Each structure stands twice: as structure tokens, then as C-alpha cells.
Amino acid sequence: MSDQKTISHFPEIKEPLLIKRSSPGKNTRVCPAPFEHCALHDLDPAEKLPDLPDVSEVETVRHFTRLSRLNYGIDHGMYPLGSCTMKYNPKISEDIAGRLQAIHPADSIAMNSILKYCQSLQRYLQEICGMDACCLWPAAGAHGELTGMMTIKKAIEKSGAAKNTVLIPDTAHGTNPSSCAIAGFTTKAIPSGEEGFLTASILKDHLSQDVAALMITNPNTLGIFEREIAEIARLLHENGSYLYMDGANLNAIMGIARPSDMGVDCMHVNLHKTFGTPHGGGGPGSGPVLVTKELEPFLPAPVIVQDDSGEYSLSWDLPDSIGMVHSCLGNVNVLIKALVYLLSLGADGLKDASIRASLNANYLKSRLKKSFDLPFATPTLHEFVLSDRLQKAAEVTTMDMAKALMEFGFHPPTVYFPLVVSGAIMIEPTETEPIEELDRFVQAMETIARTSSEDPQSLHDTPRGCPVTRVDEVWAARNLLLTWSMNESKGEDLVSK
């Protein structure tokens, strides 16, 4: 590995905790003070000032700028996290949405425009998925799952049926069973078929009267299209059960196939994946829910309504609704960014994105399968899963290879997921990677494969060119230093070790 040219994005920075720069009186900010200060004895104020760092503006700016340089973002390079769809985040979306941030939701005239945008977004998402109705308020994918499953729960209760089990294939994301449990369902994991997709015959083995729904990701987390989904939907419907689709991988099928045609009753999409809104280092995302006409009455409140004069407003008059799932309108600003994205691509651009996303992934797969184990030969769309089976002979694991990729200036793929593949490496390049970057990724992976037999230790030692080397996560969980003061009370000091 030593002769490999690495692209280091990272400077040599050791940035202490901000509190260590604090000293009384350093912050000289002049804050707005339009009113004379009242005594405020009636509020029985705290005697001491809040315990926050007292630092100058330049120290704050430099501290966080230095921290930013310890991070890897999409604008640095390829970020092939499988099922996360880390595509380029258009700057124009930030620019436009950024101008709409000062609006208070009680401003009825401004909100008329905002609700108009929201309704356009609903309509476009319905068009892409073929679904009848949409709720934009869930703030993230898992929040969408929970909302969708609550919607199904309410519909089942209303029908008087006693159905409480949700079947979930073993390739599912962990949020699926977790969201079902919080919505009050019992979950049952079912195996996917030998070829990496769920077959109707497997479903039949598990389909009982108690089954409320099947929750399936399509294309699934192996990147495989669930080709028996229409028959699966038919069986479920015959049984009085619903088909829920996790739309995490919608980026593979925009304008190519619509969930409604597959028999989907309820689904969520991730705007921060498919529609190019930034993930912000962990959010805010957005997870709108889409349903059929039958489930529409149970969607969360409020709904957007338009009166005869064309004015938009919100209605809470929904007798069968599950109720509110967010204190206001979800991550509205993210909704705006997604709408800008949709309009900037248009119908043809969206279809083109799905085609190119699948082409890019298949290009990588066709080249990488020569050096890595490909556990499923079934055709895939926008992502695929390799394993570390071949490299394990030399005791090189998926973790080693993920860390080694950082040396080449890449963010690693999703690793050790899905759980059905031992040592999984799940790669989703997205449509926005140019072929040169894909080729560079292939070269990096091939070098890693070669190094794993020639010099495995050098892979165990990666990453070396990052701000830190491998991190002791076990120590973190045992010692639980979760704040500055917990660190202080632990004694001086882990940091200066």
C-alpha cells in the first residue's frame, strides 16, 4: 500500500474541545437590545450566567472550520453508501430554500405559497409512485415508516379485523421491525429466497390470518428487484393484509416502474436520498408517506386543502386520521429543496437519473466481481453487495477494506449490511458519479484486493492518512464520556493521553 498514491482530504489538525479555549470575558459580541432591560424579579432568574464557552467570534469560527475539515462530504468525492443514495446535492436547492427560512408558520400569506409548493411536491411524488395520496410531514425515513404503519394499524382497527403481525424479510433495514414495534405490531422475520428476493411460495408459508402487512424494500437491500411482488401483493390482499414498501431504494425505478402497479398500499420515500437533499451529517431528512385511496382517510393531520378562490390552508377535520406526527409541518425546508430538485430534473431527468444510477452500479459490479466474492448472481439495479469471503483467507475483513478505502480518498460503502451476507460490502455509486471516479474506485478496490494477499498487515493498519486512526468504540461504550463535564470529572484527561 505504501507505494499507492493517496488522496488525503485531511489536514493535520488536532482540535481541542471548545470549552478548553473558554475564559471569562472573551466573548464581546454585541447582541440586539431593542428594549430597556426590566428587573424580572417575577421570573426568579438563575443567579449565575449559563455555563457555556466564553470565546471570541474568531475562535468559534476557526474551531468549527477546523472541525469541518475533519469531515468527508459528497463534494469531496464518491460516497458509495449502499441504500443511502448519497448523490450530489444541487447548490440551487440550497440557495432557493435558504431564502424561505424566515417565514413563521403563522404568516398566512407566506404559508399560502409554502402550502402550494407542498401540494406540488405531493402531486409529483404521487405521480412518481402512482399512489393516490401523500403526507409530507414525517421528518425522516424511519418516521415515515412509523407513520405508514400507524396508518395501516388504524385502518385495520376500523375494519374490526384482528391482525397484528407484520412480516419482514431478513434483508430489511433495522428501522423496519423497530417502527412496527413502536406502532404496536408484532414482527416476524422471514427468509428471502435463495436468489436474493422474496418468493410467493415463501410468503405463503408464513401467511396466516394474523398477518396485518408485509413490509418490503423494493429494490431490496441487495439491489435486487422483487420480481414476484405483484403475486405477493395479490396473496396479501386476498388475505386482507397490506403491502408496505420501504422506498429507500426508489432511486432505481423513477419513471421505470411504479409501486402502485406492484400492488403497494402504503410506502415512504426518503427525500434526502432519492431527491438530492443533503443529509447534514445525520439530518434533517424527510420521509413522506404515500398511500392508496383506501388508506387516505387514516393519514396524519393536518391535510392541505384549497378553497374555491385557490387559497391553500390546513384542515384538521379528519375523523379517521391517526392524528399529528409532528408539531408543525415536518422538515418543510427539506420539502422545498426536494421540489427544486424535481423541477430542475423534470420527468426525463428523473428517469435518466434512475437509468444512470443502475448503469453506474452495474458497471462497478461487472468490474469488481473479478476480485471480490459476489454472493448473489441475480441481476441488480442501483446497488449490489459483495462480501469479504475471498479476502478472509488472508484474515482481511470488510472492516479492513472499508478503512483502506479512506486512504484512497473515498468514503467506504455500507458495511456488514444486509445481515444475510456475511461481511457484506454494499455499494451504491448513484448516477452523479462520472466514469473517471468509478474507475478510480475500481483501481482502489483492486489494489486493496491485491494487498490483502501480499501484505494484509498494512490493511489492518488503515486508515493512516485520516484525522484519527481506528477508534476504540468499546472503550467509549464502557466509559460513557458523553459531555465536557463527564470528561472533566473523569480526571485530566483522556484527551491528553
Partner 1 sequence: MSYACLTQECLATILDAIGIDTPEEVFSSIPEDLRYDSRLDIKGPLDEESLRREFICDTANVVFAGGGIYRHHIPALVNAIASRQEFLTAYTPYQPEISQGTLQAIFEYQSMMASLTGMDVANASMYDGATALAEAALMAAKIRGIKRIIVSRATHPAYRMVLKTYLAHMQDISLVEVPFDPDSGQTDMKAFAEMVDTDAAVFVQQPNYFGVIEPMDDIAAKAFHAGFWGMVVTEAISLGLLKNPGSYNPDVVIGDAQSFGNPPGAGGPLLGFFCVNKKHVRRMPGRIIGLTSDTRERQAFCLTLATREQHIRREKATSNICTNQGLCALRAALYLSAMGPAGLRQAATQCASGARYLMNALKDKGIAPVFSAPVFHEFVIPLAPEKFDSLRKDGIVGGIPISSHYPEIGDACLVNVTEMNTKEDCECLIRRL
Q: How far apart are CA 234 and CA 238, in angstroms?
A: 6
Q: Which is nearer to partner 1, 240 or 280 (CB)?
A: 280
Strands 211-217 and 242-247: parallel
Cβ closest to partner 1, residue 16 vs residue 240: 16
- 289 in Cβ contact with 299 (< 8 Å): yes
Question: What are the Cα distances from residue 306, in Å, to 88, 223, 314, 338, 463?
Answer: 34, 40, 9, 22, 56
Taking the complex as a whole, the smallest distance from the CB of residue 451 to partner 1 amounts, in Å, to 18
For residue 334, which of 396, 288, 379 has the smallest C-alpha distance?
288
Nearer to partner 1, 84 or 266 (CB): 84
Which DSSP string corresponds to 109-162? HHHHHHHHHHHHHHHHHHHHHT-SEEE----SHHHHHHHHHHHHHHHHHHHT--
Query: 287 or 393: whose CB is closer to partner 1?
Result: 287
307-316 in b/e burial notation, b at 16+ Cβ within 10 A? eeeeebeeee
Strand 165-169, strand 211-217: pairing: parallel
Q: Minimum distance from CB of 248 to partner 1 (Å)?
A: 11
**Which residue lies nearer to partner 1 by CB, 105 or 393?**
105
Give the orientation angle of helix 175-182 with respect to helix 141-159, to 10 degrees: 40
Minimum CB distance to partner 1, residue 369 (Å) = 11
From first CA to last CA, the distance across the chain in angstroms is 29
Output the nine-digit C-alpha cell for 294: 383506501
Which cell is 470 given? Answer: 481506528
Closer by beta carbon to partner 1, 393 or else 439: 439
- Specify whether the CB–CB gap between 260 and 97 falls below 8 A: no
- Judged on CB neighbours under 10 Å (0-12, 13-18, 19+), 352 is middle
Reported as half-sphere exposure (CB side, CA atoms, 13 A), residue 381 has a value of 24
* 295 phi and psi angles, rounded to 5 deg: -90, -10
Give least dist CB 294 to partner 1, A.
Answer: 20
Smaller CB distance to partner 1: residue 68 or 453? 68
Give whichever of 326 and 389 is closer to partner 1, judged by the CB atom: 326
Grid coordinates of 83: 441504500
CB of 208 to partner 1, least distance (A): 18
**Minimum CB distance to partner 1, residue 442 (Å):** 10
Nearer to partner 1, 322 or 445 (CB): 322
| In contact, 188 and 181? CB cutoff 8 Å | no
